[in-house]
Amino acid sequence: MSLAGVTCLVTGAGGFLGQRIVHLLLEEEEALAEIRLLDKVFSSETLMNFARYKGKAEVKILEGDIRDAAFLHRACQGISLIIHTASIIDILGHVEKQLLWEVNVTGTQLLLEACVHSNVQYFIYTSSIEVTGPNCRGDPICNGDEETAYESSLTFPYAETKRQAEKHVLKADGQALKAGGILQTCALRSMYIFGEGSQFLQNHLDQSLLNKNIHLRTSRKEALVNPVYVGNIAWAHMQIAKALKDPEKAKQIRGQFYYISDDTPPMSYADLDYELTKELGFGIEPQLPMPLVMLYYFALLLESLSFLFRPFFRYIPSTNRHLVNLMNTQFTFSYKKAQRDFGYVPHYTWEEAKQRTGQWIASLIPQRREYLKNKTA
């Protein structure tokens, strides 16, 4: 099944994952009829990257706010497929809860309403592993799947907004469209995404450069997770989009969520940073800066200070209990259901992903050194 002749809207098209999905769409052998790229703002560099692809598909750039219902209705006119990656990611509490909810949840609801009004047939939502957990107790999961029972206790705003948005998406499956037919929806729960262009990896690189090329040990070595390469999660979106067009496969996919990982070896978040840079001469601290229990209560102390200072000024702690649990809980999942239902297999091997990401990091080092030198001067 191909996407030939499909009209597709990608939200968050200027973001880390959105750009990779757009590149895959533009590289399709049988061209889409039209690709609309929606984001609040696009950098000139991003637009130049898109311009390199001289595909047959018509490309339209749409800059606007996902909270603007009228804008979304215009954007969805004539569209048959939506890949919804747009969201605000916030792990430290930099973003006000209301804004997170408005963009991640209300924005998704408005987009679903626009689908019904504009007769969009297919809707793919980029969800997150954080809608599952880990919970506040740090209960582990090893090689879990979509049937694995887990007592979630989402208290951090970002995780809760992603879970609520996913619920709205899956509940909307089967909803009648204005001109007939039904809306078909599904969600991909991505693991932590790494690869070229990752702002998180750039931030971690800056920290290690300031620490004399030594990565901070932010997670225990035994806290295994299975990160996914950006090229592979983008590939999963393409595979499920094609499967939705197949009536038989669509029966299995509709209203379902899927965990998407790849063949990256399970490792801790901190050890991923090290694996991607060790050939560049980087090392890693051997242990956490303090015992895990102490680290948890240190995070609680910082959160308490933030609460006490709130009437006077806004203090954002450098860590929090949710992040400590997230970074130090074993939490791995299989992609076998995605493989069975819509034929997902990773497009890139771990060695390819590591090489590509490592080359990108190597290219960043001179400019980041200069930036940090000027910043600390």
Alpha-carbon Rg for the chain in angstroms: 21
Quickly list H helices, the chain. Answer: 16-27, 44-51, 69-76, 97-101, 107-118, 157-171, 199-210, 230-244, 247-253, 269-277, 292-309, 321-327, 336-342, 350-376
Asked if 158 is an active-site residue, the reply is yes
Exactly one of 122, 125, 150, 158 is catalytic; which is it?
158
Return the closest-CA partner of residue 125 out of 297, 261, 257: 257
Owner of token pair 């973001």: 15
- Contacts of residue 310, defined as CB under 8 A and 6 or more positions apart, other chains included, come to none
Q: Is 365 exposed, middle or buried (0-12, 13-18, 19+ CB in 10 A)?
A: middle
Number of residues written out for the chain:
377
Q: Is 370 exposed, middle or buried (0-12, 13-18, 19+ CB in 10 A)?
A: exposed
CB 66 within 8 A of CB 107: yes
CB 141 within 8 A of CB 333: yes
Per DSSP, the residues of 43-86 read -HHHHHHHHT---SSEEEEEE--TT-HHHHHHHHTT-SEEEE--
Angle formed by the axes of helices 44-51 and 16-27, nearest 10°: 20
Rounded Cα distance between 279 and 370, Å, is: 21
H or E segment to which residue 215 belongs: strand 214-215
Per DSSP, the residues of 109-160 read HHHHHHHHHHT--EEEEEEEGGGT---TT---EEEE-TT--------SHHHH
**Residues with active-site annotation:** 158
